[in-house]
Amino acid sequence: MSHKTFDDPHGTSDRARQGLLDNKCEHGGKRHRTSGRRRRMSAAKRQRVKHRLAVKFKAKSRWLAQARAYWRGEAEEHP
């Protein structure tokens, strides 16, 4: 249930109505004025995943290079 009602000090003004509309608890989530934020958050999430994968791939390629150097006889110990 909404925490805000029209019994607030602002009365039944546009500000009070907008306060009710902006209240996320009212009838589920907000469905208006959220697409920009959603797009930015999705893009940031994709960037985080890309970065994590790049770090992982870089570590794996470094490990493979050390292992290959060992098997070629260029290094003393296996990683």
**What residues contact 23, with CB distance under 8 A and at least 6 apart?**
2, 3, 4
Predicted pLDDT of residue 1: 44
What is the model's pTM? 0.53
> Which has more pLDDT, 34 or 59?
59
Domain boundaries, the chain: 1-33, 46-79
Predicted pLDDT of residue 9: 60
Instruction: Tell me how far apart the alpha carbons of residues 68 and 45 are, in angstroms, rounded to a whole number.
Output: 35
SS (H, E, C) 9-66: CCCCCHHHHHHHHHCCCCCCCCCCCCHHHHHHHHHHHHHHHHHHHHHHHHHHHHHHHH
